[in-house]
Amino acid sequence: MVLILNRSLKVVHISGSGDFLGGAELCLYELIKEECASDYRCALIVPYDGEFAKAVVELNVPVKVIKFKPWSKSTSDGILKLLIKLLIKLFINVAAEIRLFLFLLTVKPCAIHINTSAVGTGCFASKILNIPLIWHIRELLNRESGRTLYFPKVQRSLISTANSVIAVSKSAADTLHSCKRIINPIIVYDSIPVPEYRDRNIFRKGIPNVALIGSIFPAKGQYDAVRAISRVLARGYELTLLIAGDIKDSGYFDQLTSFIKVNNISNYVKFLGQVDEPYAVLEDSDICLNCSMSESFGRVTVEGLLSGSLVVGRNTSGTAELLNNGNGLLFNTVDELASLLIDAIDHFEKSRKIAKAGQEFAWDRFSDSSLSCNKIMEVFDNAK
C-alpha cells in the first residue's frame, strides 16, 4: 500500500481493525465512500492489512499500516494474563504513537478521526502536533458487552479532551458522564446500507422463522434465545430459530449445542454460520431477534426493521433506544421473551402493524446514508 502525499489531507481516519469485524468498519467504509464522492481527501491508518483496508485502497484512498493494539480488555481474562497483555500492548502502542507522529508530521492533515473508543492511538500525537482530534464512541465497553477499558475513568477522561466527540447513540454518549470535563457528544446514528424496499406481510406461510444474527459468544445472548424457543415449543407452538454468525467462543457454542440436544429441539434450531448478506436471512424471517446484553447502537436491530421483520430486542442500552416508539418489542427475561414470541404468533395482525411501523421508522431515519456521513464531515470541518 502506497500513500499519496502530494495533496493535502482533510482527515486521517484511525481504525481499530484492518478487517470488516463489525459495524465500526462497515460504517467507516460508507463514510470514506461518501468523502470520495465529495472530493473530501482522506487517508486511513489500520493496525494490520485486511479486507477492510483492501476495500479502501480500491477507492483510491491511501492506507498505511501501523501496528497498534486496543486499550480494552476481555472481562474473561485472569489477572496474570491481563498484566502480561497490558505490558505487551504498552510497548507496541508507544512505538505506534511515535510512527504515527512522524507520519502526521509529514502529511499535516486538518483533523484526525479515531473511529473507536477501544483504541487510544493518535491521542498524544494529535496533541503534540496541535491537530484537531475527533473521537468516535461506537462501543459501551462495559462488563455486559464482554470487553472493558483497562482504566475506564482515566481513558474516558482522555477521550473527553478531544476537540469533538461523536457518539453513535445516547447510550454511547452516556459512557462519558463520569468524566470531570463536561462535554456534549454529538449523536450521529450510524448509516446502514438498505435492502430493496419490500412491502412485507409476515406470518404468511408455514412455521415462522426467527432470525438471530451476530457472532456467537456470551454477550450476544444466543443461550437466552434457545432457552426461550425451548419454552415456546413446550407450549405446543412451532418456530424455527436461525442463528447466523461466526463462532467466537467454542466453549459457549458447545453449551448451546448441548442445550439444544438435551432438550430435543435440534429440528427447530439451525446454525447458518457467518453470512455476508444479513438481508438474505432477514427477508425470509418473520421475527428478528436481538438478545445482546449490551449494544451501543445495534446494527442488526436496524437491519431487522428495514427488512420489515418484527423486531424483538433486549430492553437495554441502544436496543431499547431504537425500539421504544412502538416500532418493536422489548423483553427483560427469558420467560418474557417466550411470552412475546407466543403473543406475536397468536396476534399476527398486531405483529404485522408493529413490523410495518418499524419498517417505516427505519426507512425514514436510516435509508439515506449521506445524511449521517455529511453530519460527521461537518464535525470534522468545525473541529478545525
- Three-state secondary structure call for residue 173: helix
What are the structural domains of the chain? 11-191+368-383 (3.40.50.2000), 209-366 (3.40.50.2000)
- Residue 384: which pLDDT band, with cuts at 50, 70 and 90? low
Distance of CA 91 to the CA centre of its chain: 28
- Contact call for residues 301 and 313 (beta carbons, < 8 A): yes
The proportion of the chain whose per-residue pLDDT surpasses 70, expressed as a percent, equals: 97
Average pLDDT over every residue of 302-312: 96
| 127-131: Cβ within 8 A, 24+ apart | 127/161, 128/101, 129/101, 129/104, 129/105, 131/104
For CA atoms 274, 279, 284, 285, the dihedral sign is positive
From the list 170, 150, 174, the residue with the least C-alpha distance to 160 is 174
Check whether 6 has a pLDDT greater than 60. no
Residue position matching grid coordinates 492506507: 63
The proportion of the chain whose per-residue pLDDT surpasses 90, expressed as a percent, equals: 77
Distance (Å, whole) CA 192 – CA 198: 16
Distance (Å, whole) CA 187 – CA 164: 11
Average pLDDT over every residue of 191-202: 84
From the list 93, 83, 92, the residue with the least C-alpha distance to 150 is 83
Check whether 5 has a pLDDT greater than 50. no
Rounded to 5 degrees, φ, ψ at 198 are -130, 130
Digit-coded pLDDT (tens) for 30-80: 999 999 998 899 999 999 999 999 999 999 999 999 999 999 998 888 888
Residue 297: how many other CB atoms lie within 10 Å: 26
Residue 365: how many other CB atoms lie within 10 Å: 17
Give the single-character DSSP code of 75.
T
- Contact call for residues 140 and 174 (beta carbons, < 8 A): no
Q: Are strands 329-331 and 111-114 parallel, antiparallel or unpaired?
A: unpaired
Distance (Å, whole) CA 20 – CA 229: 31
Q: How many CA atoms lie within 13 A of 230 on its CB side?
A: 18
- Three-state secondary structure call for residue 152: helix
Q: CA-based Rg of the chain, rounded to a whole angstrom?
A: 22
- Residue 300: which pLDDT band, with cuts at 50, 70 and 90? very high
How does DSSP assign 211-235, residue by residue?
EEES-BSGGG-HHHHHHHHHHHHHT
- Residue 213: which pLDDT band, with cuts at 50, 70 and 90? very high
